[in-house]
Structures are given as C-alpha cells and as structure tokens.
C-alpha cells in the first residue's frame, strides 16, 4: 500500500506563491499537539481528513465519502517526524497489509505555511471583505480573482494561526476545516497494528540513492521533489541518462521532450517512433533531441520547475515535473535507469551535488 497523504492548504488556487511576507508575525506559532478535521472536494467530494499530532509523532486518517467509488478505502498513515518515515494501512481491516516509506519536506501538516498566509493573500491581490465566525473559528474573509481562470474565490482565514478555514468559489466549497482541538491526541492513534511488526527496514533517501548510484547517497538529491529552499539563481543543466549501479551512459538512442513554460497546463501527447524517436505535442512541450551531443543535453538558464519526457522507443520511457536545484553554474541532472532492458523496474531523477 502506498502512503496516502497530502496537504490541501490552498494548493488549488495559490500555486504561484513565493517569498516571505513582512506580515509574517501576524499569526501565533503553530501548535505541535492537536486534532484537526477537514473536508475536501479536491481529493474527492465529501472525503474527510483527520490530522493528529503530538510533538514528533503525527497521523492522518483519510475517510472516503459515503457512496464513494468502488475500491476507495479508509487509510491511516502514521509519521515519525524526526526519522522522516511513515507507515500506512486500512484501519478497518482485521489484519491489514501495511506499506512503509520515507518523506521529505511537508508531511501533510495543515499548519505548514500559515505564518505567510497574509503575504500570500496580498500577492494574489486578495481584498479583505469582512470578518465572521466560521466553524468555531474567528476569521477574516478575503476575496480574489484567480488570473488564469478568472474565477472569484472567497477565503476564510483563522485570525489566530492563519489557517485557511474555508475556500470557496461560487457555490463550490473546495476545502473546509470543521474542527480543531488543541492538546495531545490519544496515544493509541500512533500504535501500529500487529501485522505491521515485520515490515522490512525503511531506507532513507540517502540509502536508496546510494543503492541506485553505487556511490555516496549524500552526493545526490531527488529532482522530482520540491526543495525546502529553492535556488535563487538559475544555472545550466547538463542532462545524462545512465544505468543504475555503474552510472555509465545508456547505449540506447532516446528522444527528449522539454517544457520550460512556467504557465503551461500540460496536456501533452507523445507518439513514439522507432530507435528512440518521438513526436511531442501539446502544451509547450518541445522536441530538443537534436540538441544532444554525445548523449548529453545542455539546458541553459532553467526555470524554477520544468517538465521532461525521455523516450527510449520500445524499451520504455520516463517523464517528470522537475524542480531546479543549482549546485554551481553547471549542475548535472541524471536519469538513473534501474534496468535498461526493463524500464518497468523504475528510474530516478537525481541532481548531482558534486558536479560529476
């Protein structure tokens, strides 16, 4: 079972927020012991999320709405915030099958980013239109127009912590926090089922990368994960497709599609040809295969995030939204393929910290 968690905090409307607001001190520090209930229409109509935290322990319960699609099951995920590990299972099962993993950055904390809420609203051009109680919270009410869709949104913001209590456009409610209780939740919520006791050891990101590269895992970082602190300057990306373990170039011709447009909405289409050729279309996806030299593609002045699609013909393909991390004027981006003869075994996108 894959870990099931997410942070819904205004992700739908505020995707372009950057920077730190001078109004940061407006809100109180987030609590580290609480129980919070939230409903969301973004993940699924009527789905409920309960978040529990007690210091370095956290848990998230996801409950599908009544009448949800077949296959939708409740999921509980327990997080060790210090070790950055998590375990997930179906809490309604008698002897559940457990899945485990690691995480970096935000684990689904509803308070993440609340200190900057005022500044983010200001950047969006939101106007305060009133103040009213909402689900037991004292809130300030803001309105703004999303520039791409031109939809008008109304946001209820808790005056104490900066929590987005409710997000609505017209008659559609995207998310709503219905309850917050401060204090430590029951300790039993963080106890794993007996059937989870024989889980294999959870490898850290560094250990996983070391296994993939055959080198020091600390010399690399995943490129598909947004960094905690983004690079403030651009760099030239040197892209290579290599085989796991040896890090030797893959001896299969491949085509590369690249989208550098920060406002792109995707909608890509790829027609795969023979010998690693492809036709890329949709969105701002461009074929840059002809720019490769000896298996190396140089991408100057990469933006904060960009999309790559690498096509190896019948052998397989890999694609991802990648987040810029510059470790020098030139930074190497590796696509590390576990098995070039069987792409279904997976591949990882890695930035090299050392320039090699």
Domain assignment present for 219: yes
Mean pLDDT of 327-356: 90
Domain shared by 160 and 265, yes or no = no
The answer to whether 35 and 52 are in contact (CB under 8 A) is yes
Rounded CA gap, 133 and 346, in Å? 49
Q: Indicate if 140 and 229 belong to the same structural domain.
A: no
Is the pLDDT at 355 greater than 80, yes or no? no
Assess whether 184 and 218 both reside in one domain: no
> 100-123: per-residue pLDDT in tens?
888 777 788 998 877 767 777 777
In which domain, by residue range, is 340 found? Answer: 205-352
How many residues does this entry show for the chain? 356
Give the pLDDT confidence of 152-193 residue by residue, as tens digits.
999 999 999 999 999 999 888 888 999 999 999 999 999 999
If pLDDT is split at 50, 70 and 90, which confidence band does 348 have? very high
Cβ atoms of 75 and 61 closer than 8 Å: yes
Q: Do β-strands 317-323 and 33-40 pair in parallel, antiparallel, or remain unpaired?
A: unpaired
pLDDT at res. 45: 64
Last residue within a domain, chosen from 196, 228, 261: 196
- Whether 187 and 44 map to the same domain: the answer is yes
CATH number at residue 189: 2.50.20
CA 100 – CA 98 distance, rounded (Å): 7
Question: Do 269 and 344 have their domain in common?
Answer: yes
Domain match, 81 and 180 both: yes
Give the span between the Cα atoms of 70 and 89, in whole angstroms.
Answer: 18
Same domain for 51 and 74? yes
Query: Are residues 278 and 144 located together in one domain of the fold?
Result: no
Question: Which domain-ending residue is among 196, 213, 241?
Answer: 196
Distances (CA, A) of 96 to 1, 57, 91, 99, 191: 10, 21, 7, 10, 13
Whether 240 is in a domain gets the answer yes
Give residue 43's pLDDT band: very low, low, confident or very high (50, 70, 90): low
Per-residue model confidence as pLDDT tens digits over 143-152: 998 877 888 9
CA dist 111 and 108 (Å) reads 9
143, with CB counted inside 10 A (0-12, 13-18, 19+), is middle
Please provide the average confidence, as pLDDT, over all residues in the chain.
Answer: 84
Q: Which of 111-125, 210-224, 264-278, 334-348 has the least mean pLDDT?
A: 111-125
Among 196, 218, 238, the domain-final residue is 196
Is 18 a member of any domain? no
């Amino acid at each position: 079972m894959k870990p099931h968690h997410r942070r819904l905090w205004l992700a739908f409307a505020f995707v372009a927020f950057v920077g730190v607001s001078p109004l940061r001190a407006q809100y109180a520090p987030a609590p580290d012991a609480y129980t919070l209930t939230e409903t969301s229409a973004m993940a699924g109509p009527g789905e409920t999320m309960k978040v529990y935290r007690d210091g370095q322990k956290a848990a998230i319960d996801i409950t599908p709405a009544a009448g949800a699609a077949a296959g939708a099951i409740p999921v509980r995920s327990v997080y060790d915030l210090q070790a950055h590990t998590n375990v997930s299972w179906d809490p309604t099962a008698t002897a559940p099958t457990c899945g485990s993993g690691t995480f970096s950055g935000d684990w689904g904390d509803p308070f993440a980013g609340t200190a900057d809420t005022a500044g983010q609203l200001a950047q969006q051009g939101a106007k305060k239109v009133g103040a009213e109680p909402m689900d037991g919270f004292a809130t300030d009410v803001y309105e703004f127009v999303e520039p791409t869709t031109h939809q008008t949104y109304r946001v209820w913001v808790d005056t104490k912590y900066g929590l987005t209590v409710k997000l609505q456009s017209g008659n559609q409610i995207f998310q709503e926090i219905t309850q917050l209780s401060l204090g430590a939740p029951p300790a039993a919520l963080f106890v794993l089922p007996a059937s989870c006791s024989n889980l294999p050891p959870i490898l850290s990101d560094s250990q996983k990368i070391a296994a993939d590269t055959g080198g020091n895992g600390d010399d690399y970082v995943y490129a598909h994960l947004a960094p905690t602190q983004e690079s403030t300057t651009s760099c030239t990306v040197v892209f290579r497709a290599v085989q796991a373990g040896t890090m030797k170039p893959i001896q299969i011709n491949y085509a590369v599609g690249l989208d550098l447009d920060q406002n792109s909405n995707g909608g890509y289409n790829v027609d795969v040809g023979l010998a690693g050729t492809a036709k890329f279309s949709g969105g701002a996806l461009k074929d840059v295969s002809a720019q490769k030299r000896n298996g190396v593609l140089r991408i100057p002045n990469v933006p904060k995030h960009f999309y790559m699609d690498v096509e190896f013909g019948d052998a397989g393909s890999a694609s991802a939204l990648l987040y810029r991390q510059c470790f020098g004027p030139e930074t190497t981006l590796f696509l590390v393929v576990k098995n070039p003869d069987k792409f279904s075994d997976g591949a990882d996108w890695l930035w090299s910290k050392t320039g090699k």
